[in-house]
Amino acid sequence: MEFEGFKNKETWDVWSWMSNMPATPAYIQHLCEQINNTYLEWADAFKSPLPEFNEFRRNMLANELQDKWIDGCDAVFSGGPMLQLLNTALNNVDWRAVAGSFLDHIEKEEEEKRNLQEDFETRKAQWKDTIDELLGRQ
């Protein structure tokens, strides 16, 4: 049953909690840098085709997020029914969707930065042309 655009409520809950944690963007960015480096190292070491980069990055990030959340739960609850219930819920999370949502956000921010840089460069060239024209330089 879909919930708030995600596969289920468990997925939305995890995404929602992570999205509201102030450290999440920096943590996701850090993980993405590590994943990018891993991809390049593997590509160099194996000299063979690797999975498509975006798919690789999504899967690696999903695995990393899942491991960290489950490790965190294991540290908080030392066994018992609460841990079992929590692990059951976490096993229902679509971790690839959570990772994909964060990656989509990162890609959107990067595109906005590129667009701003291109706009700045265009305006800078226009300003230079206008100044040259006003000063009689052509």
Q: Where are the domains of the chain?
A: 9-104
Q: What is the DSSP string of 74-95?
A: HHHS-SSHHHHHHHHHHHTS-H
Residues comprising the chain, all counted: 138
Question: Hunting for tokens 């850090």 — which residue is that?
Answer: 30
Point out which residues pair with 6 in neighbouring strands: 3
Residue 78: phi and psi, rounded to 5, are: -95, 70
Residue % of the chain over a pLDDT of 70: 99
Question: Hunting for tokens 């800078």 — which residue is that?
Answer: 124
Residue 42: phi and psi, rounded to 5, are: -65, -40
At 72-126, the pLDDT tens digits run 877 777 778 888 888 889 999 999 999 999 999 888 888 898 899 999 999 988 9
